[in-house]
Amino acid sequence: MTPDLAVRPRAGTGPPAGLGRLRTTRSRPSPVLLLLAAAVVALVATPVVFIVTELLAQPDGSVWQAFWRPRTQTLTLNTIALVVTVTTGTLLIGLPTAYLIARTDLAWRRGWQVLTALPLAVPSYVAGFAWVSLTPVRGFWGSVIVITLVSSPYVTLPVTAALLRADTDAEAVARTLGAGPLRAFWSATLPQIAPAAGAGALLVALYTLGEFGAVAIMRFPALTWSIQTAFGGTFNRSLALVLCLILVALALVVVVLERAVRRRDTGHGRVRVDEAAARARLGPGGQLLAAGALTGLCFAAIGVPVVTMTIRAVQSVAERELEAARLAEAAATTVLLGLGGAVLAALLALPIGILSARHRARTVGALETATYLGHGLPGIVLGLSMVYLALLLLPSLYQTLWVLVLAYGILFVPKAAGSVRTAVGQVPLELEDVARSLGRSPVRVWTAVTARLAWPGIAAGALLVALTVMKELPATLLLRPTGTDTLATRLWQLTDIAAYGAAAPYAIVLVVIASVPAFLLSRRLGTS
């Protein structure tokens, strides 16, 4: 469910010129890859198995009663409304932003390219605290504003990459036939970027389904917050499990929509040779208007949280509330877990991504779809399932960082798998066939040819996972070893007791650390 994080090939790394449209799919999936992918799916399906097992163990009638409660239906409708509104908002922000960066002569394009990606580094709960402390917005619209602002780069980044590699010849022909700029773009370019926009928007939808921090801060009754309350506060287990099952069903709908959008990808798009000639001129007035709009967007998404937390951090230093040693330890743990989760997610995603890039079989499609279901669940459900699995199979791993890294790998496999799929799909099969004809084994062909060309896209997916792991909260709260804190968990602990001054340094350091992968991601996916 991750947007197609396509990376523009560098000079000399693409397929040889003059070969025309090259094959990127094979007919028969590798049995070894199928077996590895099935093992990954079995691991990723752990939360769903946990939910079903626990549901079957509930008293007779309790599950049915919980399902038909009016409150359950209200929570479901609230969540659907939130997902639809946020997804629409990210499209309304992401598409124009990507067009300004990729297809106009916007001044300081590279700077805007980085700034519009940096909201990925701002955790939703940090942005939520900032907006709550400065404005009266709460509830539904408060949640919409915060989640839309921090997740809009999920649309901006892939659409920018798609626009940069889109074929502009058809649009030029439409203009010569008398079509205006908007009509030419609508008929010729929009079909080329629609799969990227759709994949990004659907990732936003899945992210919103599992969002906990922002809706809890805004006190909006969505499924995730209610699940946390049912498991932790009232401990209404039947209700919590039913709500989890509803989230799984909604995640499945999102997955099906993503696959439908991807099937409409007609394979358009080649990297343009003369990018400057294809950029629209904005003029002085347009430059001023565009700069003003982007400045407002970046201030709302980045400036408000950073300024608010900086002011509180200064107050905490003045009041001697700064926990310097504990802050440094939490920062080191956050970086370590981010790298570990990114590496594991990328490794788990390799068989799924390679199969989905090279084969269109229904078996492959089913395996790929199954890996996405756990990503729509709240972190507390994944955490409980991992506790269950660790105590059942390997009790010695319980309360260790290994279980936490494994949870991150399971949770964020989809983010890495989409990048692997796109990167491998851009490597022509002819190059692999040539290497095989020279007597190299499949493993040697992968390391020498496919992986060598696909690694930038795979690395982009790993960066996205590392960025997300650093901000992850619910699963980390449940699975972290006793006495171990990340920046996110310590921040949440302090804000939960209204120690906002002491929490502010953790928020600032978290945003700064998360900005590194966000910056690298924007540079890798953006303009050259």
Convert the pLDDT of each residue in 209-240 to its tens digit. 888 889 988 999 999 888 877 776 555 677 87
Which regions of the chain carry the CATH code 1.10.3720.10? 26-46+322-498, 58-267+286-320
Q: What is the pTM of this model?
A: 0.82
CA–CA separation, 145 vs 167, rounded Å? 34
* 378: CB partners within 8 A, 6+ apart: 210, 212, 223, 224, 227, 228, 244, 247, 474
153, 152, 151, 150: which is closest to 129 by C-alpha?
150
What values do phi and psi take at 361, rounded to 5?
-70, 150
386 and 319 Cβ atoms separated by less than 8 Å: no
Q: What is the pLDDT of residue 528?
A: 39
Average pLDDT over residues 148-173: 84
What values do phi and psi take at 108, rounded to 5?
60, 45
User: Is the pLDDT score of 142 beyond 90?
Assistant: yes
The DSSP result for 104-140, as a single string, is B--TTHHHHHHHTTGGGGS-HHHHHHHHHHHS---HH
CATH of 58-267+286-320, one of 1.10.10.60, 1.10.3720.10, 3.40.50.2300, 3.40.640.10: 1.10.3720.10
- Give burial (CB, 10 Å; 0-12/13-18/19+) of 51: buried
User: Is the pLDDT score of 181 beyond 80?
Assistant: no
Handedness of CA 49, 50, 55, 59 (dihedral sign): positive
- Element containing residue 462 per DSSP (H, E): helix 451-471
Number of C-beta neighbours around residue 144 at 10 A: 21
Average pLDDT over residues 111-117: 91
Is 462 or 60 the better-scoring residue by pLDDT?
Answer: 462
| Tens-digit pLDDT profile for residues 467-516 | 989 988 888 888 888 888 999 999 888 887 777 788 888 999 999 999 98
Is 212 or 319 the better-scoring residue by pLDDT?
Answer: 212
CA–CA separation, 100 vs 465, rounded Å? 27
User: Is the pLDDT score of 151 beyond 90?
Assistant: yes
262, 109, 269: which is closest to 189 by C-alpha?
269
23 and 16 Cβ atoms separated by less than 8 Å: no
**Token pair in block for residue 19:** 């070969």
Average pLDDT over residues 244-263: 78
CA–CA separation, 2 vs 283, rounded Å? 36
Specify the 3-state DSSP secondary structure of 280: strand
Is 391 or 337 the better-scoring residue by pLDDT?
Answer: 337
Is 18 or 490 the better-scoring residue by pLDDT?
Answer: 490
User: Is the pLDDT score of 3 beyond 70?
Assistant: no
**Token pair in block for residue 397:** 């791993």
Is 1 or 303 the better-scoring residue by pLDDT?
Answer: 303
Is 150 or 29 the better-scoring residue by pLDDT?
Answer: 150
Residue where the block lists tokens 């390679």: 354
Fold of the domain built from segment(s) 26-46+322-498: MetI-like fold (1.10.3720)
153, 159, 164, 168 alpha-carbon torsion, rounded to 10°: -150
